[in-house]
Structure 1
Amino acid sequence: MSSSAPAPAATAAAEPEASRPRKMPVLLFDVMDTVVRDPFYHHIPSFFQFSTRPYSLFLSLVYRYPFIMSMKELLESKHPTSWSEFEMGLINEGQLAEKFFNDGRSFDLEGLKACMVRAYEYVDGVEDILCSLKQNNYEVHAFTNYPVWYQLIEEKLKLSKYLSWTFCSCHIGIRKPSPDFYLHAVDHLNIDPGNCIFIDDRMVNIEAALSVGMVGLHFKNAEALKNDLCSLGVELAPLVLEDETEVQ
């Protein structure tokens, strides 16, 4: 009997933790170009280029394929809906490779993924903000238009240290700025939309959040975001290093 005595004490100690009120607001972060740099505009066009072999020169002359693809040429030559379909989980990566370009040309899919992984990095200063939010026990979720390749971001940058990959378009089947995506998040979280702060670098997505009653913050840079969050009463704890020395 005496050996079982500590159990009730442990249960009692856990009760205050379980009954602690949920901390508000809940924060929803866009990922690309808000938390992580998007490689699409700066790295992907240079990936889609032809070698200087004679056959490639022949292709460039006959079919007007460029040796180095500009962003304008990439946008004009890619299939108009293949990437958004991939983001919504409607096609897999093999199907993406088959229809990425309007003319059906093939490309090195694994090479493209490797190029993107090399380019993934935190937007300056944002990791510190996420760390501060975690230290202050805020609930933080990703709210992103991205395909299953979000797993590549996670493998490299370990965003799950700071947030949950709760709302990814590839799993939900909806993309921003559809109001249904935002309403799904509110319903899933079981909170009033006014208790959600949504952060995104695209104003059209912010406007959609506002339309369903969320608080929207247009991301410009980490310092501006920090000021915006503080103005809303969000507590940002000073960063604490492993030796518990505060970083102001």
Structure 2
Amino acid sequence: MPTALLSDFSRVLLRPKDRKYTGGLNALHKRLLAELKGTYQILDYYELNDELLDFYKSLKAKYPVNLFTTDIIQNHPEIRARLKPVFDYIFAANDLGLSKKDPQAYIFIANKLHLDPHEIVYVDDQLTNVEAANKAGLTAFQYDNDNQEMIAKIKALLSPKP
């Protein structure tokens, strides 16, 4: 039974304010950093999913809560300050030479957390990543912008750590 939570970041916990934008959030972040330099205010372009972040934070007293993202956007100081109290560890696939489309990436993260893959609930917006995590033995769900549904699924699965 799962005893830990692992979550993706982009489009689960961080969304573009422009709902019509469908490109990569890290790509947009890098472009804005280059174009706007010192005037770039990240929260003018993105918003955090406070409801889900608050839920994750509420779990922290009973469960390990970790983040597994692809690239760098979570390192922005304004974002990092909001994530630090919520997550035990923040893993970036690109920093670790991993692909979230590869089941081995999730086994690697489970090993880093000293957990068996079956002990982890994983949330991601990308179906290919969810499928890879499921193949690795995690219980993985695709996030589809319905916080209440995701919160209910996570609550139903997590059991208290010993």
**TM-score scaled by length of structure 2:** 0.77
Q: Establish whether residue 219 from structure 1 lines up as the match of residue 146 from structure 2.
A: no
Gaps of 5+ in 2: none
Partner of 2:14: 36
Partner of 1:78: none
What is the DSSP-based 3-state SS (H/G/I as helix, E as strand, rest coil) of the residue aligned with 1:181?
A: helix
Letter in 2 for 1:125: E
Percentage of pairs with the same residue: 22
Letter in 2 for 1:163: F
Q: Distance in 1 between matches of 2:159 and 2:126?
A: 22
CA contact (8 A) 1:124 1:222 kept: no
1:82-231 correspondence to structure 2 within 5 Å: 109-111=34-36, 114=40, 116-123=42-49, 125-134=51-60, 136-147=61-72, 149-152=73-76, 154-156=77-79, 158-220=82-144, 221-231=146-156
CA contact (8 A) 1:27 1:139 kept: yes
Letter in 2 for 1:225: M
1:117, distance to aligned residue in structure 2 (A)? 4.2
1:198, distance to aligned residue in structure 2 (A)? 0.6
Q: Distance in 2 between matches of 1:176 and 1:39?
A: 25
Q: Distance in 1 between matches of 2:18 and 2:94?
A: 18
Counterparts in 2 of 1:212 and 1:160: CA distance versus 1, 3 Å? same
Letter in 1 for 2:3: P
Counterparts in 2 of 1:108 and 1:143: CA distance versus 1, 3 Å? closer
CA contact (8 A) 1:125 1:223 kept: no
Greater strand share, structure number: 2
What is the DSSP-based 3-state SS (H/G/I as helix, E as strand, rest coil) of the residue aligned with 1:109?
A: helix
What is the DSSP-based 3-state SS (H/G/I as helix, E as strand, rest coil) of the residue aligned with 2:5?
A: strand
CA contact (8 A) 1:32 1:38 kept: no
CA contact (8 A) 1:31 1:142 kept: yes
What is the DSSP-based 3-state SS (H/G/I as helix, E as strand, rest coil) of the residue aligned with 2:15?
A: coil
What is the DSSP-based 3-state SS (H/G/I as helix, E as strand, rest coil) of the residue aligned with 1:161?
A: coil
Between structure 1 and structure 2, the one with the greater Rg is: 1
Counterparts in 2 of 1:38 and 1:234: CA distance versus 1, 3 Å? farther
Counterparts in 2 of 1:35 and 1:234: CA distance versus 1, 3 Å? farther
Q: Distance in 1 between matches of 2:131 and 2:149?
A: 19
What is the DSSP-based 3-state SS (H/G/I as helix, E as strand, rest coil) of the residue aligned with 2:11?
A: coil
The alignment covers a number of residue pairs equal to 152
Structure 1 ranges of 4+ moved more than 6 A: none
Which gives a bigger RCO, structure 1 or 2 (Cα 8 Å, sep 6+)?
2
